[in-house]
């Protein structure tokens, strides 16, 4: 009785709103008798994603509704007025949900077929007449047919029994012979009719119902009668049995009392039929012989050579041409006389783009510019032309800067050297092969780097000037020695700095951690000590307040062990000496072993990596499996399945993915959205 009442109320609401949309625009258009816009009947075909909202899956909680099954729509409509359109439509597709948790494990897939009518309102009275894009809303009535099945048995006909440890076995967990149970894998073949299973005692319920489709969208006119429509339509059905679960289901299968809904997000191409009577094209007033004569004598650029014989159409007015209609080039250097600044260039001499001959000095200068990329970011391009040759390519070598190397390591370094390096404000690390270099500065000119080296030596820090190009360090000892001889007599500024440098230490780890974990950490400095710990620092501040704000930022990024440390003149000092007010004594020898909360570490299964578009068949398999998300990097998009607290659970899910055909699936770690190797994630999980 309740569903019959709902049906009557929905029918009444649909008819009232539809009649209002139909009558109101007609009354307004009757007042505007000057409108002459043509109203065209339209046919269209569209495709999109059909998502299910009901008892199974909890209304797509934790899932993107666009990650769903495919659906297709065919529609035909005709304008009632400029504001209102009436149409018929049919939609066919599939919906499905896989719900997997410790409390409930349900799945289903249903074949959906709908058909009905709808009214579309396009806000015409509020929009400009020459608009290209217009929004619209729609409301209609439809019949819905569904055929729902579930994946209840594996490929060998064994039922799924979900155990509390997250595994699937062929015998219930509470069965007397549970010890004989074997693991089974879902085959994702929906072979069992939900109505025939009758798990809740509903019997032979009706698999047809009615629905109210309500939609919004936008229409873009493409010209020539074609248009593109982007829309989302929610189909409010009058049944709660599409997924076979309702508020009358028993046990853990029990759902809520809301009716099932489906969201169809689609792209539709439509064509409007031109109903205007076509007028016959006017016949030419010239005879065929006259038309031929006109074409033969046509000279579009007016250079005196007819278009039929002109090899260079579009010659500028007033330019002298040869018998073929091409601009005259008296000296034959490949540059026409009207563009040639040197019209009598000797035969065979290279010229630039203005036809001026290039001397030996010009050619040498061009060659040296090409060879010398020391301080240049762009090599000057020289255009040469010998007998009409085209311009040469412009080369763009990488930029070269200069730094001062103050240390390097392959193994651990001493505590004193570590504190000496950290007392330099602008120190950073460059990894080259298996060696980590510690460099200072980033100078465009070599003399500036040499001055910085001399200043560091005055402060007791030895260094070596090197060039940096595309992330690689290049020795420039000979050039630096020549510059150093000239710089020794000059007055050096204090480029070492005597102020305290405050940094944020993110923590210390027994093993080196992947760069991906620190990809959004600025000014990262990595030091491995002779005690076996690898320490990570970020930032360099003279102001304690700025350093404290940076520490808060790092805490928000998940580095729970972050703390402030201060260095001055090559040694670690207390924060109080650096200008901070402390509420408790500071232990300068303290070093927390880890800076990542183990609760933030999770495990996932990587099922694919693609640098371009994902193949359609692979994406369909991702949609079929469900719970597949993507992470975009600079060069590719990686796809992951599930999120697990333990590596053992992730390994079990990996085997399931491999069984489904994803042979290359493997387990990775996830720390606050950053993907790292599974071994490192396991170490962080264990607090190492």
Q: Strands, DSSP E only, in 122-257?
A: 133-150, 161-162, 168-169, 192-193, 208-223, 226-237
Identify the pLDDT of residue 5.
46
- Model pLDDT for residues 490-514, shown as the tens digit of each residue: 444 444 456 788 888 877 777 677 7
Identify the pLDDT of residue 634.
66
Identify the pLDDT of residue 365.
58
pTM of the model: 0.42
Q: What is the mean pLDDT of the chain?
A: 79
How far separated are the first and last CA of the chain, in Å rounded? 63
User: Does residue 21 surpass a pLDDT of 60?
Assistant: no
- Model pLDDT for residues 604-619, shown as the tens digit of each residue: 999 988 877 778 888 8
User: Does residue 27 surpass a pLDDT of 50?
Assistant: no
Nearest alpha-carbon partner for 524 in 540, 512, 510: 540
| Cα angle for residues 153, 155, 156 (degrees, 5° grid) | 85
Q: Which CATH number fits domain 598-685: 3.40.50.2300, 3.90.180.10, 3.30.70.1070, 2.60.120.10?
A: 3.30.70.1070
User: Is 107:150 a contact under the CB 8 Å cutoff?
Assistant: yes
- Comparing 211-215, 408-412, 468-472, the range with the smallest average pLDDT is 408-412
Q: State the alpha helices, DSSP H only, in 440-492.
A: 446-458, 477-487
- Model pLDDT for residues 523-566, shown as the tens digit of each residue: 888 877 776 678 888 888 888 788 888 887 877 777 777 778 88
The share of the chain scoring above pLDDT 90, in percent, equals 30
- Give start-end residues of each CATH 3.30.70.1070 domain in the chain: 401-573, 598-685
DSSP state of 253: G
In sequence order, what are the residues at sequence separation of 6 or more whose Cβ sits closer than 8 angstroms to the Cβ of residue 271?
42, 43, 44, 225, 226
Neighbouring C-beta atoms of residue 136, cutoff 10 Å: 17
**Average pLDDT, integer, range 245-253:** 90
**Average pLDDT, integer, range 102-110:** 89
According to DSSP, the β-strands at 400-409 and 464-469 are antiparallel
Nearest alpha-carbon partner for 109 in 97, 100, 99, 121: 97
Identify the pLDDT of residue 25.
42
Neighbouring C-beta atoms of residue 83, cutoff 10 Å: 20
pLDDT band at 259 (very low <50, low <70, confident <90, very high): very high
Identify the pLDDT of residue 216.
98
**Average pLDDT, integer, range 179-203:** 92
- Model pLDDT for residues 516-527, shown as the tens digit of each residue: 777 778 888 887
Tokens of 126: 């509020």
Identify the pLDDT of residue 486.
67
Identify the pLDDT of residue 378.
37
- Give start-end residues of each CATH 2.40.160.20 domain in the chain: 2-30+42-151+189-272
Identify the pLDDT of residue 280.
65
- CATH number, domain 401-573: 3.30.70.1070
Distance CA 326, CA 339 (A): 13
Identify the pLDDT of residue 400.
87
- Comparing 58-67, 205-214, 321-330, 580-589, the range with the smallest average pLDDT is 580-589
**Average pLDDT, integer, range 262-279:** 86
User: Does residue 241 surpass a pLDDT of 50?
Assistant: yes
The share of the chain scoring above pLDDT 70, in percent, equals 79
User: Does residue 657 surpass a pLDDT of 50?
Assistant: yes
- CATH number, domain 2-30+42-151+189-272: 2.40.160.20
- Comparing 222-231, 427-436, 656-665, the range with the smallest average pLDDT is 427-436
Q: Which residue has the higher pLDDT, 280 or 167?
A: 167
User: Is 155:187 a contact under the CB 8 Å cutoff?
Assistant: yes
pLDDT band at 7 (very low <50, low <70, confident <90, very high): very low
Residues linked to residue 573 through DSSP beta bridges, in sequence order: 566
User: Is 502:423 a contact under the CB 8 Å cutoff?
Assistant: no
pLDDT band at 61 (very low <50, low <70, confident <90, very high): low
Distance CA 602, CA 345 (A): 74
């Amino acid at each position: 009785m309740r569903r019959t009442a709902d049906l009557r109320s929905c029918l009444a609401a649909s008819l009232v709103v539809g009649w209002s949309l139909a009558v109101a625009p007609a009354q307004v258009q009757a007042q505007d008798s000057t409108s002459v816009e043509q109203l065209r009947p339209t046919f269209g075909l569209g495709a999109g994603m059909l998502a299910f909202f009901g008892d199974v899956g909890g209304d797509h909680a934790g899932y993107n509704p666009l990650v769903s099954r495919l659906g297709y729509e065919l529609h035909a409509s005709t304008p009632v007025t400029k504001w209102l359109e009436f149409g018929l439509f049919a939609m066919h597709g599939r919906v499905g949900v896989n719900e997997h948790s410790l409390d409930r494990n349900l799945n289903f897939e249903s074949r959906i077929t709908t058909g009905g009518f709808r009214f579309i309102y396009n806000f015409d009275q509020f929009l400009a007449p020459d608009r290209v894009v217009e929004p619209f809303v729609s409301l209609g009535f439809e019949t819905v047919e569904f055929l729902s099945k579930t994946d209840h048995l594996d490929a060998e006909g064994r039922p799924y029994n979900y155990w509390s440890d997250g595994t699937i076995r062929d015998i219930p967990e509470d069965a007397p012979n549970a010890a004989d149970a074997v693991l089974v894998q879902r085959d994702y073949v929906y072979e069992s009719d939900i109505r025939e299973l009758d798990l809740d005692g509903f019997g032979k319920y009706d698999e047809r119902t009615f629905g109210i489709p309500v939609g919004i969208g936008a229409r873009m006119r493409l010209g020539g009668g074609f248009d593109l429509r982007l829309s989302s339509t929610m189909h409010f059905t009058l049944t709660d049995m599409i997924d076979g679960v309702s508020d009358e289901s028993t046990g853990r299968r029990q759902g809520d009392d809301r009716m099932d809904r489906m969201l169809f997000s689609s792209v539709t191409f439509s064509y409007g039929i031109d109903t205007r009577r076509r007028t016959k094209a006017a016949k030419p007033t010239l005879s065929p012989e006259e038309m031929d004569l006109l074409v033969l004598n046509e000279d579009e650029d007016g250079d005196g050579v007819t278009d039929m014989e002109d090899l260079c159409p579009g010659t500028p007015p007033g330019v002298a041409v040869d018998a073929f209609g091409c601009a005259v080039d008296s000296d034959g250097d490949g540059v026409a006389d009207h563009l040639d600044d040197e019209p009598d260039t000797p035969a065979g001499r290279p010229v630039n783009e203005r036809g001026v001959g290039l001397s030996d000095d010009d050619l040498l200068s061009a060659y040296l510019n090409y060879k010398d990329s020391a301080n240049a970011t762009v090599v000057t391009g020289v255009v040469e032309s010998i007998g009409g040759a085209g311009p040469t390519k412009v080369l763009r070598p990488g930029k070269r800067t200069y730094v001062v190397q103050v240390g390097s390591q392959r193994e651990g370094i001493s505590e004193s050297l570590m504190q000496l390096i950290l007392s330099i404000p602008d120190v950073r690390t460059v990894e080259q092969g298996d060696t980590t270099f510690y460099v200072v500065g980033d100078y465009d000119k070599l003399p500036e780097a040499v001055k910085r080296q001399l200043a560091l030596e005055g402060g007791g820090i030895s260094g070596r000037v090197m060039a940096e190009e595309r992330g690689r360090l290049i020795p420039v000892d000979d050039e630096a020695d020549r510059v150093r001889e000239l710089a020794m007599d000059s007055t050096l500024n204090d480029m070492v700095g005597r102020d305290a440098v405050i940094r944020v230490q993110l923590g210390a780890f027994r093993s080196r951690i992947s760069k991906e974990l620190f990809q959004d950490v600025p000014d990262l400095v990595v030091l491995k000590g002779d005690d076996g710990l690898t320490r990570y620092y970020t930032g360099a501040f003279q102001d304690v307040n700025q350093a404290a704000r940076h520490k808060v930022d790092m805490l928000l990024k998940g580095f729970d062990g972050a703390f402030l440390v201060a260095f001055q003149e090559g040694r670690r000092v207390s924060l109080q000496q650096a200008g901070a007010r402390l509420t408790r004594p500071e232990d300068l020898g303290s070093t927390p072993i880890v800076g990542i909360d183990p609760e933030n570490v999770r495990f996932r299964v990587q099922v694919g990596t693609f640098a371009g578009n994902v193949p359609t068949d692979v994406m369909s398999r991702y949609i079929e499996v469900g719970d597949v998300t993507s992470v975009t990097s600079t060069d590719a998009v990686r796809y992951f399945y599930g999120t697990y607290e333990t590596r053992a659970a992730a390994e079990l899910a990996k085997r399931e993915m491999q069984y489904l055909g994803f042979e290359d699936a493997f387990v990775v770690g996830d720390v606050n959205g950053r993907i790292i190797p599974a071994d490192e994630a396991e170490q962080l999980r264990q607090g190492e």
